[in-house]
Structure formats: C-alpha cells, structure tokens
Structure 1
Amino acid sequence: METQTAPAYRYWGPDLVAHGPGELPAIVGWIRQGRVTPTTWVYRDDAKAWRPAGEWPELKPLLGPRGTAAATPAGLTPDQLRRIKIFADLDNTQLLALLNYLEPVEVRQFSTLFRKGDPGDAMYSVLAGEVRAREISEGKETTLFTLTVGDSFGELALLIEGERASDIVANTDSKLLRLPATAFTRIIHEAPPLAAPLLLAISRTLAHRARSLGDRLMNDLTLAQAAGGISV
C-alpha cells in the first residue's frame, strides 16, 4: 500500500527569497511568527503553483477571516475588477491578491482629484462614473481626454517619480480604485507571481498610448504640411 506524502510548502519573503520547504507544521509556525499572512505568496510542491496563502483551502482556517475574499476593499470581486482594461488579462488568483493593495476612492462631481504639477504617487482606475484631464492656460480650459469605466490613468507614477501632467476633474460622481506607488513596490517584493503580469500590462498600456500619441502627431504634421503651414 502506497504511503501518501504530505505536501511541502515554501513562502516568498520580503527579502525576495523563497523560504522552505516545510510541511504543514512548519507553515503553521511561520504563520504564528508573522512570516506568512493571507497575502503572502505560498508555493505547494504537489500542486506546482504559487498562490496567496489565503487561497490555499487548508491554510484559510489558520489565517482567520482576513484570508477570505470578504476582506477585499469595498467588497469587490475579481469579476468587477476585470472590468478595468489594464487588469483584464489577470486570472482570479492574481486579481484577489491585487485587491489587497487597492484603495477605493470616491470623487464628487466637479471636484478635482489632483492638479498639474502635483507629485505623481499612484495609478487610478475608473470603476464607475467619468473624469476628464484638462489644462488651463490664460484662464481658458482645454479638455485633453475623457476617461470612463474601465480606463486607467497615472500609470507612469508607478515606475518613476514625477509631477502630474494635467488636472483630473470628475465629470460625474465617480468611484475610482487607487494603486499607490508604495503598494506597487510592495507587490514587487511580496508577490512576484502578480508583479510580472501586472508590470507587463502597465508596459503594454503605456506603449499603446505612446504609439497613439505618435500617430496623432504625425497626422497633425501631415495636415499642417498639406495646408502649407510647415515646410520640411
């Protein structure tokens, strides 16, 4: 009769090292020591998969109610979060982990979320409502673009320190999700299986935006040349 081998676990520590392996008694000790929390990424060798500790059924009772999806901001679910375009390709496990790093923000109609020149310290995504980016020059307002449900803005703030390029104003009462730059840094250290696809999604979004801007500038240049306004 074959003897069933107990699964071994490893956890990803803040020092960017996978600790372990250890069987269930070992991980119980790690939880008691505070090394493993519901959002700590844990590898189980028999499943050959990394998941947040709170997503392993046998670990949930050890972690308490914080290991359940009910602890996510504003009671959001992965399906609701998937409405955000930049998160659309993440799987349910990754989305559940991401929810632990997001902050819900409510913005009243006509109020300003931030102004041009403010420090860029977070990315925002529109969960409900509508906002616009604007510039004001010599007392005249110009709308640069409008953002609706599923759109994100401020992604560059997660990668480099800098100032906001424009004002963001709410056209309607809006619900946003905020991912602070500090939380993004924590994801890189605490949750590498989430960090890689999230960074890829952000990079693709920025690349598409840069290409779109380049195409628009080329079209404007072509029109100006056709009108005789610019000679090359």
Structure 2
Amino acid sequence: MDLLRSVPIFAGIEPSRLKLIAFTADSIAYRAGQVLVRQGQPGDAAYVLVEGEAEVSVETASGDYVVATLGAGDVVGEISILCDSPRTATVTASTDVSALRVRKDSFLQLLRQFPEIAVEVMRTLAERLTHSNEELVRARNLAASRDNEA
C-alpha cells in the first residue's frame, strides 16, 4: 500500500481502492540491462516504475536512439494498450528496477473506475508528446545544419 501511495498516478486514491489496485498488479524486478518492453511487440501490460531508472529508445536506420529516461512513478507500455497497437519503443532498465505490472484488462478497468488515474495518464502522454516534438525539432535542426556544412 505504501508503495502504491508513493506513485503519483495513485497518490489521490483512497486506501480501500488502493487494495484493489494492489490485488490486480504484479510486483516485478529487472536488473540493469534487462528489457521491460520491446518495440514492435504486442502490448499486454503497462508498467509503473516504483524504483530505479529505465531508458526509452526507438529503432532508427542508424541504430537505437534514446528518447527519454524514466524514473519512479513513471508509467510505460500504456500507449500500446490504449491504442491496441504494437509497442512504440523499447524500454530497458538502466539500473535495477522494481515495477508494478498491470495487465491490459486490469489497466483499462482502472482507467474506467478511477477518472483521476485516466487524467494523470493523459497528462503524462501529453508531456511525452511535447518532449517528442522538441526532440524532432532538434533532430531536424541538426540535420539541416549538417546539410549546410556539406
């Protein structure tokens, strides 16, 4: 219960409801270097990082490109669940990580039952989109400056 209370998306939920969430989630641990989710694979669960850090990377023609670093309280894997699409990125533990694994059906049920969780997930997705757009602009500017130098 204390573990769940420390996660921002669950912070405002009353203790009796936190028990329901704890019952539906699996506690899982990853060692540094282990992959939590792999780009292109089907999404069957979302993960809430409880401790540790992980890197989010996407495959490009020139190799993997790290687009974000995640820490305690961050949620990963929800995009493929919400969109019913393959994973959009690979998430790899950069340190030892403990996480809560919430299966697809349970995650969607949580969003329906607890609007405050849905709002927090939307806020997180909006922040990621903003960050991705900023990274895209930086990459385009870098490519343009390289073209101008050549």
What TM-score, normalized to structure 2?
Answer: 0.77
Percent identity between matched residues is 27
Q: Encode CA deviations 1:37-85: one digit per residue, 9 max, x unaligned.
A: xxxxxxxxxxxxxxxxxxxxxxxxxxxxxxxxxxxxxxxx1x3212222
Greater helix fraction, Structure 1 or Structure 2: 2
Q: Counterpart of 2:101 in structure 1: which amino acid?
A: R
Looking at both structures, which has the greater relative contact order when contacts are Cα pairs under 8 Å and sequence separation is at least 6?
A: 2
TM-fit CA distance, 1:163: 0.6
Paired residues, number: 148
Q: Encode CA deviations 1:150-178: one digit per residue, 9 max, x unaligned.
A: 22112223322111112221112211111
TM-fit CA distance, 1:138: 5.4
Write the distance in 1 (CA, Å) between the matches of 2:9 and 2:52: 17
Q: Note closer, same or farther for the CA distance 1:141–1:187 as it changes in structure 2 (3 Å cut).
A: closer
RMSD of the TM alignment (CA)? 3.0
TM-fit CA distance, 1:120: 1.4
Q: Encode CA deviations 1:179-206: one digit per residue, 9 max, x unaligned.
A: 1111124446xxx6x4322222222222
1:110 aligns with 2:33: yes
Structure 1: 5+ residue stretches without partners: 1-76
Aligned match of 1:209 = 128
Aligned match of 1:199 = 118
SS of 2:43 mapped into structure 1 = coil
Q: Note closer, same or farther for the CA distance 1:211–1:135 as it changes in structure 2 (3 Å cut).
A: closer
Write the distance in 2 (CA, Å) between the matches of 1:128 and 1:82: 13
SS of 1:143 mapped into structure 2 = strand
SS of 1:100 mapped into structure 2 = helix
Q: Note closer, same or farther for the CA distance 1:82–1:110 as it changes in structure 2 (3 Å cut).
A: same
Q: Encode CA deviations 1:99-121: one digit per residue, 9 max, x unaligned.
A: 12211111122122222110012
Q: Counterpart of 1:97 in structure 2: which amino acid?
A: L
Write the distance in 1 (CA, Å) between the matches of 2:109 and 2:137: 39
Which of residues 17, 21, 41 in structure 2 aligns to 1:94? 17
Contact 2:67–2:132 (CA under 8 A) maintained in structure 1: no
Higher CA-based Rg:
1
Structure 2: 5+ residue stretches without partners: none
Write the distance in 2 (CA, Å) between the matches of 1:117 and 1:109: 21
What TM-score, normalized to structure 1?
Answer: 0.53
